[in-house]
Structure 1
Amino acid sequence: MGALSGLDRFLPVWIIAAMATGLLLGRLMPGLNTVLDAVKIGEISLPIALGLLLMMYPVLAKVRYDRLGTVTGDRRLLISSLLLNWVLGPALMFALAWIFLPDLPEYRTGLIIVGLARCIAMVLIWNDLARGHREAAAVLVALNSLFQVVAFGALGWFYLRVLPGWLGLSQSTLAVSAWDIAFYVLVFLGIPLLAGYTSRKLGERAKGRIWYEQRFLPRVGPIALYGLLFTIVILFALQGGTITAQPADVARIALPLLAYFALMWGGGFAAGKAIGLPYDKTATLAFTAAGNNFELAIAVAVGVFGVTSGQALAGVVGPLIEVPVLVALVYVSLAARRLFSAKEPAHA
């Protein structure tokens, strides 16, 4: 594998610039966030949806769908991912939310919702930058999507009502429809997945795999990072005023999030190494464990508790902490490749 491209190498610079641009737009144009927030279907912001679709399509277009069978047969990877995402992840966020925010129930509930919303979108970018296994990432993201539709509501009921009751803690409620979650999954994963699969099939049929991978993919690849930066600008333009107005609250919310991302990524990377996975699948396991479906968490928090609620603020702070932390972990992951055998086959 080659080194990071110039665009990728300076990604932290572009992200900081995108954050600053979003904040500046929100400050200089006070009505902008109202306009952007009004352009939505249900609780889905169309500008954010556009950025996410642009971000995910090139990554999913790179997946070699004829190789997915080699991933689905890897039980070590699948079982480890399910345990990390659906057992450890929600439990860890529940514990951290109560440890760091025992006196702030709205923020605590918002963080627990973030912990329940497992990755289906932005994680594909981090996995690709870290030279993870693309086919494995596609399978794990699809698996998380299916579990999300089935388990999100049930886990929300358990972690916000049942478990606090058992422990003698204050309880919350979370009323969210499985149909709503299925709709979010369809929008944020189904559409770019169908587009990526279709473009590969049609491109290879018309011009062959060599043309598709050496000519077409390099042209559309940068769109993913442009989509990421556009999404960050929109997020900060929408919520930057709230964040800058409550810096102490943001700091309180950020601490458990920092601990969560570090522990989940480190636990996933250590687990992959321990069970003998090669580097590319280990990186994929780590990033899919650490990433969260922030668009679902924000949509649920806004839909259930309101746009000005503490739960919604916690959901918004989630990706604002996740983005720079996981960018940093991309570099940590690339540096950690030397811990793996040089004889392991590189994933193209």
Structure 2
Amino acid sequence: MSNQPTARLSTLDRWLPAWIGLAMAAGLALAQLVPGVGDLLTSMEVGGISVPIALGLLVMMYPVLAKVRYDRVAAVTGDKRLLVSSLALNWVLGPALMFALAWLFLADLPEYRTGVIIVGLARCIAMVVIWNDLACGDREAAAVLVALNSVFQVLAFSALGYFYLTVLPGWLGWDSQGLDVSMGQIAVNVLVFLGVPLVAGFLSRLIGERLRGRDWYEERFVPRIGPWALYGLLFTIVVLFALQGDQITSRPLDVVRIAAPLLAYFAVMWGAGMLLGRMLRLGYARSTTLAFTAAGNNFELAIAVAIGTFGATSGQALAGVVGPLIEVPVLVGLVYVSLALARRWPADTAAESPVVEQIR
């Protein structure tokens, strides 16, 4: 483990916040300077799904999922504390917390409330790898949890979406305006935007390793496709902000209101992960992995579902777009908080000692 956690990252990855900021600015500039660009992008839809956004999301997610070592998923069962903690944080606490925060902050804005709830349902399967690396977390544990969440998300996202967007508000007698969501619609979008790159990533590793071996796959193939995750992400953000540019610039107060529950969510989930890891004596590296896996959200999937279900210019899609606007700077800040905590973190095991000592 390097004393400089960014040493393992490429120049593109180290400057990720800057690239995302530039992509946001470029999208907003397109919306303001190129008349009709929003209408043009909106017209490029098939079955209610924007083709440019679909391509960007698929290009972004494939390299990350192709890096996962799927043969190591079973290894997580060796640390039942990590497995159970991750599942509880990601699939019990996370969606419930975002549901509560959305109603607390956005009770009078049903479209934004729905979009924020969708963000809470989409568990992080991509960006967490970068945050984990920067914070000197356990890379193998991150790979296992990412693979686990990838599979679980395909199975659980639709059911949880139907429960939190339709069933639970009805039980509580709350206003359900804007929450009439088809479980089938969500399932189709999840399968397209998560299932396709997940299967492609799995098959790439399976076929690549069988034909050329793991060394070639890890040392030659993965580095070649790795940068495309960022290219896809940046392209998607440019398109999204071009589509939403007028709404973002004309409704800055709405953006602030959407940001409020997201800020609270990231802080609470990250803190819960670190605290739970410390209580269970998982060690700094795995506690950090647990925290960032819990705090991060798959805003790419959330945006895709919001766009596919409600439309590219909907309030739900705007809430999804605000996700990366808030998540990136907040989680980058939490990386530095994690590294500061590491200097005071007791090494619970012999294997953990080198990690903590080198950060110190």
Which letter does structure 2 place at the counterpart of 1:224? Answer: A
Contact 2:122/2:302 (CA < 8 Å) preserved in 1? yes
Q: Which letter maps to 1:139?
A: L
Is there any run of 5+ residues in structure 1 with no aligned partner, and where? Answer: none
Cα-to-partner distance string for 1:173-202 (whole Å, 9 max, x where unaligned): 623333322222222222222222222222
Checking the alignment, whether the CA contact within 8 Å between 1:67 and 1:135 is kept in structure 2 is yes
The two structures, once aligned, show a CA RMSD in angstroms of 2.8
1:188 aligns with 2:193: yes
Displacement after TM superposition at 1:120 (Å): 4.7
- Determine if the alignment matches structure 1 residue 211 to structure 2 residue 216: yes
Does the CA contact (< 8 Å) of 1:294 and 1:319 recur in 2?
A: yes
| Whole-Å separation in 1 of the counterparts to 2:69 and 2:98 | 34
1:316 corresponds in structure 2 to 321
Question: Is 1:162 the equivalent of 2:171?
Answer: yes
Residue 92 of structure 2 aligns to a residue whose secondary structure is: helix
Instruction: Render the CA deviation track for 1:216-254: whole Å, top value 9, x for unaligned.
Output: 222222222222222221221111211011111211221
Corresponding residue to 1:249 among 254, 257, 273? 254
Q: Is the 8 A contact 1:161 1:173 kept in 2?
A: no
Would the alpha carbon gap of residues 330 and 65 (structure 1) be closer, same or farther in structure 2, given more than 3 Å must change?
same
- Contact 2:114 2:165 survives alignment (8 Å): no
User: Counterpart in 2 of 1:37?
Assistant: 42
How far the C-alpha of 1:272 sits from its partner, in A, is 2.4
CA contact (8 A) 1:57 1:196 kept: yes
Shift of 1:15: 1.4
AA aligned opposite 2:162: G
Q: What is the DSSP-based 3-state SS (H/G/I as helix, E as strand, rest coil) of the residue aligned with 1:94?
A: helix
Shift of 1:98: 3.4
Q: Is the 8 A contact 2:50 2:312 kept in 1?
A: no
TM-score (ref. length: structure 2):
0.83
Task: Give the match's secondary structure for 1:195.
Answer: helix
Partners in 2 of 1:257 and 1:162 — Cα distance? 25
| Paired residues, number | 342
Contact 2:27 2:241 in 1 (8 A): yes
Which amino acid in the other structure matches residue 135 of structure 1? Answer: V
Does 2:104 align with 1:99? Answer: yes
Q: Which residue of structure 2 lines up, in the alignment, with residue 89 of structure 1?
A: 94
Give the match's secondary structure for 1:175. coil
Q: Pick from 203, 206, 212: which aligns with 1:201? A: 206
| Structure 2 unaligned regions, length at least 5 | 356-360
Q: Does 1:111 align with 2:116?
A: yes
In 2 relative to 1, CA 24–246 (structure 1 residues): closer, same or farther, beyond 3 Å? Answer: same
TM-superposed deviation, 1:11? 1.5
Q: Which residue of 13, 16, 23 corresponds with 2:21?
A: 16
Query: Does 2:293 align with 1:288?
Result: yes
1:82, CA displacement in angstroms?
A: 2.7
Q: What is the letter of the counterpart of residue 176 of structure 1?
A: V
* Distance in 2 (alpha carbons) for counterparts of 1:129 and 1:227: 21
| Identical aligned residues as a percent | 64
More off after superposition, 301-310 vs 68-77: 301-310
Q: Is 1:141–1:288's contact at 8 Å kept on the other side of the alignment?
A: no
Offset from partner CA, 1:134-187 (integer Å, 9 cap, x none): 122111232133111333212222443223x2xxx5444623333322222222
